[in-house]
Structure 1
Amino acid sequence: MRRLFQSKLTLLLIAGLCSLTVAATAFAATWSSSDQYGNWSNGGYIVYNNVWGGVAGSQSIWANSYSNWGVTSNQPNTGGVKSYPNSTRDINTQLGSLHSLSSSFNVSVPTSGSSFVSAYDIWTGNYAHEIMLWMNKYGSVKPIAASWDASGNPVASYTNVNVGGHTWNVYKGNNGSNDVFSFVRTSNTNSGTVDVLAIMNWIKTKGWMSNEIVNRVQFGFEITTSPNASFTTNSYSVSFS
């Protein structure tokens, strides 16, 4: 009887362990990495961990697809961007040849204790021009600008610009390597659709860029400070023709 009881107990323990293994497998991400520049190709996109090193802390990335991914990032409370985990789609099409270029996103982000921006980073002209679309921002983060006021705040080149389906304050500056055009949404949002082509055509009308190649569209989290915080992209896509 005792031996039979022990056998049944053993079978129950094995069954329980199997159930835990199945559950863990079911909730495991398709891909993950803690490498500084870990990356994964999926569905015509590349998901990047993209930690810049130097004073940066640790960061782990996971992904089920280019559209559903996230990071846990532990960055110190010091100045400067530490990482830009993102999902990238290459376009490599001349601006004048594009009939449409749009993107949709939905994210979950921390709302306290962290400084970061959920942002598109769009590159054109063989990476001569960087177009940033700030969809939300938290903490002490500021865009690059041509000038700053007496309080140390960037001065917008244009305010309350309604283009691409959103209203922005627009800043024009240079980071020492390339021109940067930052469109900072006048109110935070964690989801939406953006007409990227309309924004680039608006920039062109200002004479800031020409009919050049649109290299790539990236979307992710530009992280300055994050005390072991989690950032999740619930959905994301880019379409063009």
Structure 2
Amino acid sequence: MRLLHFLTTGATALLLTVTATVLPGAPAQAAAWSSSDRWGTWRSGGYTVYNNVWGNGHGPQTITANSPSNWWVWANHPNTGGIKSYPNATRHIGRRVSQLGTVTSNFHVTVPTSGVAFTTAYDIWTTDHAHEIMLWMNKYGPVGPLGSYQTRATVGGHTWDIYRGSNGHNQVYSFIRTSNTNAGTVTVTAVAQWIRNRGWFGDVTIGDVQLGYEITSSAGGKTFTTNSFSVTG
């Protein structure tokens, strides 16, 4: 999944600007952009919003945005194993851990809680894509992190069960929040410094900070709404 995610992120994306059709369950407002293309991408205000339907056996998925901080996804993926998509919004940082300053992110989502398998997750990459930090803010259905359990720690404003492993292409550090939440603030700098202090990576350059939904199944069609999202610092 991690290699595919990297490849799709680096691929040349089709930029679409279309008139949105409001889907059942989606916010009833005029939208700035919508796409049902697997790789549909929209850039605005220093952010990128990306449909990113990358997994095998996927169903239809449509992403719609009022702004990079307010967007939603309607997805109808079958009840089978394997991640089908990671629709997300991205802000690029491009600074070494020692020079990050205080980077924080705020989020507020509305998500389905039954008949689904997914996580609401931050995906934070180093610029060389050798290291990936995942922050699972909530999870539903049969999903689990890659790697082996390391420890429980409170860092970046939340308490996590932390896993570490490799997918064969990059190192993955999965921070699984000990209880689900739909809103909050994460201090990205503190998480990156904690990993560096453990000796798991050096003074790497933090690249993309992404927030989205790793969707394994959403049979019948489910809506995942990002009410607000920002990265500052």
Q: TM-score range by the shorter chain?
A: 0.7 to 0.9
Q: Is it true that 1:229 corresponds to 2:231 in the alignment?
A: no
Identical columns (%): 57
Q: Is it true that 1:176 corresponds to 2:173 in the alignment?
A: no
What TM-score results when the alignment is normalised by the length of structure 2? 0.86
Of the three residues 147, 150, 154, the one matched with 1:157 is: 150
Task: Please give the secondary structure, in 2, of the residue aligned with 1:78.
Answer: coil
Deviation >3 Å, runs of 4+: none
* 2:90 and 2:211 in contact (8 A); partners too: yes
Task: Please give the secondary structure, in 1, of the residue aligned with 2:193.
Answer: helix
Q: Give 1:54 deviation, angstroms.
A: 2.8
Q: Which residue of 2 aligns with 1:190?
A: 182
CA offsets, 1:203-241, max 9 Å, x none?
A: 00111111011111000000000020000000000012x
* 1:36 and 1:53 in contact (8 A); partners too: no
Q: Which residue of 1 aligns with 2:94?
A: 92
Task: Please give the secondary structure, in 2, of the residue aligned with 1:64.
Answer: strand
**How far apart, in 2, do the equivalents of 1:98 and 1:60 lie?**
34
Q: Is it true that 1:74 corresponds to 2:67 in the alignment?
A: no
**How far apart, in 2, do the equivalents of 1:83 and 1:66 lie?**
18
Q: Give 1:197 deviation, angstroms.
A: 0.4
**How far apart, in 2, do the equivalents of 1:210 and 1:72 lie?**
39
User: What 5-or-longer segments of structure 2 have no aligned partner?
Assistant: 1-27
User: What 5-or-longer segments of structure 1 have no aligned partner?
Assistant: 1-25, 147-155
Q: Partner letter of residue 81 of structure 1?
A: I
**How far apart, in 2, do the equivalents of 1:193 and 1:53 lie?**
29
**How far apart, in 2, do the equivalents of 1:53 and 1:188 lie?**
25
Q: Give 1:95 deviation, angstroms.
A: 1.3
**How far apart, in 2, do the equivalents of 1:134 and 1:237 lie?**
17
RMSD: 1.0
Q: Give 1:125 deviation, angstroms.
A: 4.7
CA offsets, 1:172-221, max 9 Å, x none?
A: 01111110000000000000000110011000011111101111100000
Count how many residue pairs are aligned between Structure 1 and Structure 2. 205
What TM-score results when the alignment is normalised by the length of structure 1? 0.83
Q: Give 1:99 deviation, angstroms.
A: 1.1
